[in-house]
A and B are shown apart, each in its own frame.
Chain A
Amino acid sequence: MKWQRKDILAIEDMSVEEIRHILHTAKVMKEILMRPIKKLPTLKGKSVVNLFYEASTRTRTSFEMAGKVLGADMTSIAVAQSSVSKGESLYDTARTIQAMRADLVILRHSSSGSAKFLADILDAGVINAGDGQHAHPTQALLDIFTMEEQLGDMDGKKVVIVGDVLHSRVARSNAWCLQKLGVDVTLVGPPTLVPVEMEGLGVKLTHDLDGALPGADVVMALRLQLERQKSGLFPSLREYSHLYGLTTERLKKTGKQSIVLHPGPMNRNVEISDDVADSVQALIERQVTNGVAIRMALIYLLIGGSSNVVA
């Protein structure tokens, strides 16, 4: 297909064809990534700006490595906070970056919609590396890539996503992506973290993890933000872990050799037990590798122009 998009903002507005094209491109990128000498001249002379308003080690590094393998010049701007009262507004920062003639901006920001906001201002492309609780499209793409690598076509298969769904951009992007590819998705967590209005995502909701597990091909645990307990959304880590923590014993309830995913970083023995995290079923490090491949694919598709690594 001919790539048209300037930006990658959310899976919600992407077609199945586009998702397939990205996954196909990522496959090639992964082969390049696995080479002993992983450096291409493809994006030589292109400048990519990593604009991170939230602390993030793995996502920022992943984008940085992806860009470097393709030969782009990577600049990282870490902004301590996106405070309204302090510092430059996102609008003015966008104008500044525009004036510096960057080719692509990777944005991580605590406000939902900030990636679209930036994309509307910039001529350069924008990749959303997580905007508030709204979307994290590259995570969803690396997740489906990992699932298919292990299990083949996911059409008709069953994925259970458990945790703080309400506050999770990972859950939202996965819900859209998996549904589009014909996957049966169930979101699980306590009613305070999986409220009824999440039905709008078009997926199944339940508060009973044990009841949701039978038949699951993939179980994805979300990172629990520990400050949620302080705001009263659940009484204790102990009780949360008791109800929704992934343990070896609980995982047996799927009745098959299911795979376990986690977007990281993990709270061990809260949402996922040590033995599950370190088991062969857990593909958590594979997700990290695939994340670089997916991000290579996206950077390439957005600013690779007429060069053709893939063909």
Chain B
Amino acid sequence: MWWLKDVWVIDPSQNLSTPRDVLIKGGQILEIASSMTEKEVEAKAQGELVETVDGKGKFVFPGLIDVHTHLREPGQEEKEDILSGSRAAVRGGFTTILAMANTQPVIDNRALVEFVRLQGERAGYAHVLPIGTVTKGMQGGELAEMVDMKEGGAAAFSDDGRNIQNAEVLRLALEYAKLTGLPIISHCEDKDLAGEGQMRRGMSSARMGLKGIPSSAESVIVARDLLLAEETGGKLHLAHISTTESVELIRQAKARGVNVSAEVNPHHLIFCDEDITITDTAFKVNPPLGSQGDRESLIEGLRDGTLDMIATDHAPHTQAEKARPFAEAPFGIASLETALSAVWQHLVLPGRLSLDRVIEAWSYSPAQRFGLNGGTLKPGTSADMVLFDPDFSEVIDSAQLVSKARNTPFLGKTFQGFPVMVWVEGRLVQKNRTVL
């Protein structure tokens, strides 16, 4: 049994943000109460060994849930695999991660869904939930067997990485997915407007002579998808929103009652296109880093609930792939291990976002929207939990990262504030930044 003493508990599912004692027993949250005595705890332990953690000055909250990760298995294990990715997850404070379907082969049938789920169970760190494709072969044409994939454990459907360009296909998908109750996750990108762009179109791209991607490449598809969700009543989730226009479109759609949720990536909340230098491919990401104005709109959207959740879009690549001229390097930032600390450092400490909102948006909201276990510390629920130490300081060092990838703009930076203990189903899987 675990006894966390005098720790600041944040649990949006119970409207808790206050110092408490937390007891974990039998893989579950046993009790959250104001200061307990040793005697009380011993009685509850019923003879079980009690491991005590002094929580003073630290936070405890539900394990983070990341609805957008690329674990690359099967097919691209040189970048990441389910074991390394789920280890990176718990190191970063995530106890549930959704694995995107754009692997090789793509996850477009039940057999593959079950494979990903099983690999996650074999790894035994974070819960790994597969996302199936919307269309067969992720070709944007015929619908994949969504009902069968749900039976196999799929948590959502997405052709992420490749937007469904044909509006009729998306309309049909939103209709058909009603049979599953699961959301369709849309990667909003008009392929013609994005062209061969390398970064957001603007003064920075013009100055460096890098081909630009206009913000409309995202927002015209956001508008289209919102209208289709409205017309069909389908359940839509918008991935990695990055522009002011998209935020405004979502705000209006929600006011009309459209069944839509949206996520934002930490890097879009922290960086903008002006931070990109011509050789630093760690900043090359899709959707590209927007303007300063976009960043402000995203923060505002997350604060007011227009953007429901934070998701990493963890996109690992090999060093050889990123050690190329900007235009030749692949898009993506590997972020599972650094995302929470980065958000703490760049947004919570300066007062832009409250920690309570961050935890809500990164655990409770995704659990609610995707119908997942977790995202709560209610007694009787599975103890997926994080202890966060705001004083723990660490250099983001290549040698310490457990992901196979090193493509993060935070490499070499020092952060203060890290998840220092992580439990999955009551089992301690990370302690003092070491994955157990």
A positions within 8 Å CB-CB of B = 12, 82, 84, 89-91, 109-114, 116-117, 120, 131-135, 166, 169, 172, 195, 197-201
Known pairs A82-B328, A111-B328, A133-B210; list 20 more (Cβ under 8 Å).
A89-B324, A90-B325, A91-B324, A110-B327, A111-B324, A111-B325, A111-B326, A112-B208, A112-B209, A112-B278, A112-B325, A117-B279, A120-B279, A131-B325, A132-B325, A135-B209, A166-B206, A172-B209, A197-B205, A197-B212
Q: Which residues of B contact A90 (CB under 8 A)?
A: 324-325, 328
B positions within 8 Å CB-CB of A = 201-212, 278-279, 320, 323-328
User: Are the C-beta atoms of B278 and A89 separated by less than 8 Å?
Assistant: no
User: Are the C-beta atoms of A198 and B278 separated by less than 8 Å?
Assistant: no
* Residue among A111, A135, A169, A172 with max Cβ neighbours from chain B (10 Å): A111
CB distance from A228 to the nearest CB of B (A): 13
User: Are the C-beta atoms of B206 and A169 separated by less than 8 Å?
Assistant: no
For the complex, what is the distance from the CA of A135 to the CA of B209, rounded to whole Å? 8
Q: Which residues of B contact A195 (CB under 8 A)?
A: 206
User: Are the C-beta atoms of A132 and B324 separated by less than 8 Å?
Assistant: no
A197 with B202, Cβ < 8 A, contacts A82-B328, A89-B320 known: yes
For the complex, what is the distance from the CA of A169 to the CA of B206, rounded to whole Å? 11
A117 with B325, Cβ < 8 A, contacts A112-B278, A197-B203, A200-B204 known: yes
Q: Which residues of A contact B208 (CB under 8 A)?
A: 112-113, 134
For the complex, what is the distance from the CA of A135 to the CA of B320, rounded to whole Å? 25
Q: List 7 A-B contacts (CB under 8 A).
A: A84-B328, A91-B320, A113-B279, A117-B324, A117-B325, A133-B211, A172-B209
Q: Which residues of A contact B325 (CB under 8 A)?
A: 82, 90, 109, 111-114, 117, 131-132
Closest 7 CB pairs of A and B: A200-B203, A133-B209, A111-B325, A113-B278, A134-B209, A114-B325, A197-B206
Q: Which residues of A contact B328 (CB under 8 A)?
A: 82, 84, 90, 111
User: Are the C-beta atoms of A197 and B278 separated by less than 8 Å?
Assistant: no
CB distance from A105 to the nearest CB of B (A): 15
Q: Which residues of A contact B323 (CB under 8 A)?
A: 89, 91
Contacting B327 at CB < 8 Å: which of A12, A89, A132? A132
Closest to A118 in B: B325
Closest to A9 in B: B278
User: Are the C-beta atoms of A116 and B209 separated by less than 8 Å?
Assistant: no
Q: Which residues of B contact A199 (CB under 8 A)?
A: 203
Contacting A84 at CB < 8 Å: which of B201, B203, B206, B324? B324
User: Are the C-beta atoms of A111 and B206 separated by less than 8 Å?
Assistant: no
A111 with B201, Cβ < 8 A, contacts A132-B209, A172-B209 known: no
User: Are the C-beta atoms of B326 and A113 separated by less than 8 Å?
Assistant: yes
CB distance from A84 to the nearest CB of B (A): 5
For the complex, what is the distance from the CA of A199 to the CA of B205, rounded to whole Å? 12
User: Are the C-beta atoms of A201 and B279 separated by less than 8 Å?
Assistant: no
CB distance from A290 to the nearest CB of B (A): 24
Q: Which residues of A contact B202 (CB under 8 A)?
A: 197, 200
User: Are the C-beta atoms of B206 and A201 separated by less than 8 Å?
Assistant: yes
User: Are the C-beta atoms of B320 and A112 separated by less than 8 Å?
Assistant: no
For the complex, what is the distance from the CA of A197 to the CA of B211, rounded to whole Å? 12
Q: Which residues of B contact A111 (CB under 8 A)?
A: 324-328
For the complex, what is the distance from the CA of A104 to the CA of B298, rounded to whole Å? 46
For the complex, what is the distance from the CA of A16 to the CA of B325, rounded to whole Å? 28
CB distance from B332 to the nearest CB of A (A): 15
